[in-house]
Amino acid sequence: MAGRLAIRRLRLAALAPRDHPAPRSLEMRLAEAARRGLAPALDRALADWSGPEVVRVRRLEVEIAMDAGFDPDLFAALLARAIGSALRRAGGDGVVAYSTRAAYLAALVEALAAGRAWGCWWQREAEGLRALPVAAAIRTALAVDPKIGLEALASLPPLRLAVVLDALGPGEANRLLDEFSATRRGSATPAASIAAIADAASAGAEPSPLALYVRAAARSEAAAGSALAAAARAWAALTHALAGRSEAAAAGFLASLASDGAIAELGPALQSSSEARRVLAQRLARRRNEMPATADAEPDWRFTRFGGLFLLLPTLGLDEIAETVAGVPGPDATTLIGYAALGLCAGRARFGAWLADPLWRELFGLPVQDPPEALAEQLRAIPDRVWETVMPLGDALAGMRDASFLLAPRQLLQSRAARRATARLARSMLTRFARRLAGFRGSSAPFLWHNLLSVTAAVERVGDGGWQARLSRPPLDVLLSLSRLAEGSVRLPSGATVRLTRVSP
């Protein structure tokens, strides 16, 4: 039988006649026969197994009948055949089956990313990873067999892959990319590798080196290897560096590109091969819509690490802010102030990432292409008198924990009035949210974020101006279940409607 069968606990219950002369001896003989002969007998009984590659059975009961003077080998063979027959017809709530090992591994890393692997009895491998941080646990599980690990990630739809990659983090993702590329030796040229990565990006792959590599390698085994990994890193690194350049300017930039640690293998190829430079420059330009006639369509889905902030939208209070700042010249101050205050509910450490989040900027009707610095500059341009006017709309901070969590970094909001006003507005949103949770009215901002709001979301277009957000499950998910705060629809400042659902356990 290919693979292995693990029986974690075997209990033998023997029924013998009441007048059996040596029941204790019979018990010992049965146990010894099972210990010595069951494993090889199971190998023979399951040699022709054609069912799912991974089957988890919580409890399996079989019965056999034989004479008390049994032959140990015959007993082991009968027991093995009974177990094999029961496995082939097993089903119901106590059985979980996966068609392939890769499918099981994909489910395992998804559960690790969502923080629910430890509570799933059918994911036993998670127990051996419990001592590791989540990111290291995911990488370790995928790197045990890089070929199966790559298949597992490639089997995930884009939305679910994005959730796993976010939990993996850039550091562990980079190490995993090294593991994947080192075990495969592709035959593709640098230009062909770039084209494969570009096709993966056009198909909606996340713009991270690992996601691009996974999608490209799944499409062409010949492309897999170190050249494809270098192309993926080059694509991710240079997309930002070449933003705003024309195709000709991009080609000129690439011609003078010096090798660096991220794209060491591809760098010389870009310098020596005009074809590789042309392919990369052309594809990058097309992705930035600088070639409208052949521009790739934007994907219909987005991923955000700020999924929990959807739950705070009903408490945003944009109408009150609009009444207070009416008549302020320049960009829409109401939207900017509400956007900044909502982002600070995730904490000052994530405020810069919030300003750069393209999904949330689109949902708020803010420019998606502008760099985060442009948004910060617009916030800094709002006069102090406006911030002081909206400050009373917020709640006083509960203490140092709230202050250290909610006050924006000085480099992003230099004005003291701006930092105090946005922190108070964020606190008022969190207070109104917490009031709907029985017994948690006075919870601090860090507590609410880490236990209820720090969840990722896969957001997909579902109609004209509509979206559906699938939220992962927080540690205190039972509170959201009881309060039903994560159900229904919310309306965004841009006019879009988002319907909320939660990922199944």
Q: Over the stretch 340-349, which tens digit does the pLDDT of each residue have? A: 999 999 999 8
Whether 474 is covered by a domain: the verdict is no
263 and 406 belong to one structural domain: no
Mean pLDDT, rounded, for 315-344: 83
Task: State how far the Cα of 133 lies from the Cα of 7, in Å rounded to an integer.
Answer: 28
pLDDT greater than 80 at residue 331:
no
In this prediction, residue 259 carries a pLDDT of 40
pLDDT greater than 90 at residue 339:
yes
275 and 324 belong to one structural domain: no
Residue among 148, 105, 152 at smallest CA distance from 129: 105
10-30 residue pLDDT tens: 888 888 878 777 888 888 888
Mean pLDDT, rounded, for 103-119: 82
149 and 260 belong to one structural domain: yes
In this prediction, residue 293 carries a pLDDT of 34
Concatenated DSSP letters of 193-207: HHHHHHHHHHTT--S
Mean pLDDT, rounded, for 58-64: 78
Mean pLDDT, rounded, for 203-230: 77
The answer to whether 80 and 5 have CB atoms below 8 angstroms apart is no
Task: State how far the Cα of 189 lies from the Cα of 173, in Å rounded to an integer.
Answer: 24
136-175 residue pLDDT tens: 999 999 988 888 999 999 888 776 788 888 888 888 998 9
Mean of per-residue pLDDT scores for the chain? 78
pLDDT greater than 70 at residue 72:
yes
In this prediction, residue 271 carries a pLDDT of 46
Burial 444-469 (b: 16+ CB within 10 A, else e): bbebbbeebbbbbbbbbeeeeeebbb
Whether 483 is covered by a domain: the verdict is no
pLDDT greater than 90 at residue 424:
yes
Task: State how far the Cα of 180 lies from the Cα of 228, in Å rounded to an integer.
Answer: 11
350 and 365 belong to one structural domain: yes
Mean pLDDT, rounded, for 488-505: 80
83 and 121 belong to one structural domain: no
Task: State how far the Cα of 280 lies from the Cα of 231, in Å rounded to an integer.
Answer: 9
Task: State how far the Cα of 459 lies from the Cα of 455, in Å rounded to an integer.
Answer: 13
Higher pLDDT, 249 or 124: 124
Whether 74 is covered by a domain: the verdict is yes
Whether 495 is covered by a domain: the verdict is no
Distance between terminal CA atoms of the chain? 32
Which of 33, 67, 96 is where one domain is finished?
Answer: 96
Handedness of CA 324, 326, 330, 333 (dihedral sign): positive
Which of 56, 75, 96 is where one domain is finished?
Answer: 96
pLDDT confidence tier of residue 295, bands split at 50, 70 and 90 = very low
114 and 248 belong to one structural domain: yes
Whether 11 is covered by a domain: the verdict is no
253 and 335 belong to one structural domain: no
446 and 369 belong to one structural domain: yes
In this prediction, residue 188 carries a pLDDT of 67
List, in sequence order, every residue forming a beta bridge with 502; answer none if it has no partner: 471
Q: What is the pTM of this model?
A: 0.60
Whether 409 is covered by a domain: the verdict is yes
229-249 residue pLDDT tens: 877 877 776 665 554 444 555
The answer to whether 206 and 165 have CB atoms below 8 angstroms apart is yes
- Whole domain around residue 136: which residue ranges? 102-294
List, in sequence order, every residue forming a beta bridge with 301; answer none if it has no partner: 460
Whether 433 is covered by a domain: the verdict is yes
Task: State how far the Cα of 299 lies from the Cα of 467, in Å rounded to an integer.
Answer: 13
Concatenated DSSP letters of 286-338: HHTTSSGGGPPPPPSEEEETTGGGGGGGGG--HHHHHHHHTT--SS-HHHHHH
Which of 96, 116, 138 is where one domain is finished?
Answer: 96
246 and 374 belong to one structural domain: no
Residue 81: how many other CB atoms lie within 10 Å = 17
Task: State how far the Cα of 356 lies from the Cα of 364, in Å rounded to an integer.
Answer: 13
User: Dmax over Cα atoms in the chain, in whole Å?
Assistant: 100
157 and 199 belong to one structural domain: yes
In this prediction, residue 375 carries a pLDDT of 86
Higher pLDDT, 253 or 324: 324
> Residue 489 — φ and ψ, nearest 5°?
-125, 155
Q: What angle do CA 220, 221, 226 make, to 5 degrees?
A: 105
Number of domains, the chain: 3
Whether 494 is covered by a domain: the verdict is no
110 and 249 belong to one structural domain: yes
Element (H, E) at 471: strand 466-471
Task: State how far the Cα of 377 lies from the Cα of 412, in Å rounded to an integer.
Answer: 8
164 and 264 belong to one structural domain: yes
pLDDT confidence tier of residue 434, bands split at 50, 70 and 90 = very high
